[in-house]
Structure 1
């Protein structure tokens, strides 16, 4: 093989997997806004026996080398729950994905993407939606706006040059995902305050904290609402029971009862809003490792987290109430309850909502009504094979 020739090969064995993981830390180190994930979390994501995503997906990791040097990586995957969805929702039969792209230069990226596409074609796929790293519920999309500040917890951050690498391979935007930020130290506009106060006087409405002592039951309520509320959304893929348990285990350490709300109407849980302290603020200086003393710092922070930023990654209202005045009123009431708690109990000054689909009129209208603005955009691309 010529010295400058790029060789892309499947990941096989522990040494390759370590090289796959290490590359992101090496390439990301020079980006002041990249947040190194904890290495053990990345290992778990990529380990078939630990991540329930593999139970309904075919996954292949690839490494690119020039000579002996590792210069790029990519994952190719087919989520069989996604291919079973209605094509009008974005996924559907014949749709595969790639993600976890890291490349030293455009030639490497082109070789990696071509190899991932060939793997998908060999598996019978006719279309690609990418990047997804790896599930749509994890880190979907390529960052295309907001490179100048770090991502919040569970959001991705990729170099701007990757956008050009992807588009140069014939990919066109399929969907835009937005995050909104706002100053939560300020009261909401008077109209929103009146809507909240009206709801607080309505005996049929109850906004309550989750009860962590009933974690499994509360998680079940939230997942029921989520699966109903999001079932017709673009990109929706249902959670399996194992994924619900897996997510619950991962979320539990940063779940705070007064930051996750369930809205009840006439005694029935009909909506929820989940908010998380921005763990990334604590992780950023740790360099992806808990050793030697970062584990103690993290445990201390988890006991009583103080965070400048709060992120709302998920919310939902049962379909039967969507589009109604009640739906927006419940959303404003939950946002206000969480805003008060975040400022009073965690020292937060900034909120981030998202991601939100660019054509989700209801959520975009709510974001506009509370004086938030778009701070990041992520693009999911598509290409026919």
Structure 2
């Protein structure tokens, strides 16, 4: 049994866009700068927020989601963190009660309080009513205090504090400040390495929070869980090359660790900058932003030829979302420019200028149920018939799964620890026995 104590809170909000990502990052940096060990987690299938949270905390960040990662894994990762961390912060997704399972569900499962960030712009006494509504919506969720964000003045903050209902405290009132702003694009925040001066900004944001009175530690909780059963070495001796650069970066840390735990040797490479593949038995082309780098990807002919040769040799490739877009014949970017891609599959991926799919999904096979999600702003036009489809838990329609030889491609992003044997079959080119819908 793993067990530890830590000051812990789930940072959430009444809805998206209220600033919880930057508040979480600034809190992490504030406590880190105070000499504390801080661990941050992210609720749900998100790649971009964890990149910023890792820079803020200086520690690895993992996704937690009672359905996608599983309840046992949620408990285990938190208990493991509590053995080494002074502070644990879990960044929620969307609004506190949005989705199923919601951020609130995770807080209740873990036994940690929620700490809502409420955008106070344009509010005075109504702020207290919002806080009271969040706190009273579910009796099994603990909310002891809230944070006011984008406060206009000290007088505004005083009004907010006076509006608080009995039993709920205002932890702090964060003023509108440039340090609390972080740019984004169509899939979310910019990647952390694309943000020049991010470290300095986080230090400045931490100072803003400290001056706003947010240095007080959240409540200390005890977190315990049974450790997971070791996974079999299904991939012993298998060399897997993983694309990782500005175009391909949507990689769950837990996915890589699962491959390594199954015995795989991991080698990262850049389709943008490298001319040869590392010695490998299988490739993983994860999601990312190929549409922003399509011209450079297309111009790197030595790498295109290396990946094409790998495929023609019958070696496995897993292409997820952006990886799928790079495998078709053409990609039409957001400016309408057509670029020649790898051509391993027939068809054209076109940026749509809007969200075209979003939701939790899973792939069901005799080897297991691979859980994950879909989230993209492009559409695929192809004559190729899918050999399988995901099942949707919520959101968009099921995603098609395409196959050509040992190439498996889809817009679906999988969370590998949910189905180790299925993942191992993909990377070794073994058959997948898909279960009927």
Smaller-chain TM-score range? under 0.3
Give the structure, 1 or 2, with the largest relative contact order (CA under 8 Å, sep 6 or more): 1
Structure 1 or 2: more helix by fraction: 1
Larger Rg: 2
